[in-house]
Copies of this chain bind each other. A is one copy, B any other.
């Protein structure tokens, strides 16, 4: 029985669930995905304890995760919303630019969104997000509504993997072939 079923992962943050998932993927040889830590600049370090007594947050990083999955470069950001929609202001311009450039290099970019109200997780392809983003710039709605979620992109717990998003990645890749 999997760890979260016996111990319960209910109290875990989205980031922790993704980290568990990535560890599983690494163990199973399915992919190697690295968390990009928030950039913090340490200023004063206590030499004995190695504690940091002064530090600054540096300019916001790009996306939360970058990795390689069976020859495919992927990057994604994790987002969480309590509402019936994902506000586009949760996605930063520089993140959009990073995902754009990442895809131009032949990688696959996406957002993993958690709708906590429904306790559901979805894989949002970059091109899907960009559509809303571009329309918002032209005066359209400033969010992606829950009702627009495609059931084929819902992420499930499967094969001992808590957020088995590689299934949705695979589905996304299959749509490109069409």
Contact = CB atoms under 8 A, between A and B. Distances in A.
Contacts of A39: 37
A70 B102 CA distance: 9
Contacts of A104: 29, 32
Nearest to A39: B37
Contacts of A62: 34
Stoichiometry, copies per complex? 2
B57 A52 contact: yes
Contacts of A50: 56-57
B54 A105 contact: no
Interface residues of A, number: 38
Given A37-B40, A39-B37, A57-B52, A31 B105 contact: yes
Nearest to A107: B68
Given A73-B73, A98-B32, A40 B52 contact: yes
A105 B40 contact: no
Interface in A51-69: 51-58, 61-62, 66-69
Given A37-B38, A71-B107, A73-B107, 13 more contacts: A29-B104, A31-B105, A34-B36, A34-B66, A37-B37, A40-B42, A40-B52, A51-B55, A66-B67, A67-B73, A67-B105, A68-B75, A68-B106
Which 4 residue pairs of A and B lie closest in terms of their CB atoms, listed nearest first? A71-B106, A68-B73, A52-B55, A37-B39
Interface of A: 26, 29, 31-32, 34, 36-40, 42, 50-58, 61-62, 66-73, 75, 98, 101-102, 104-107
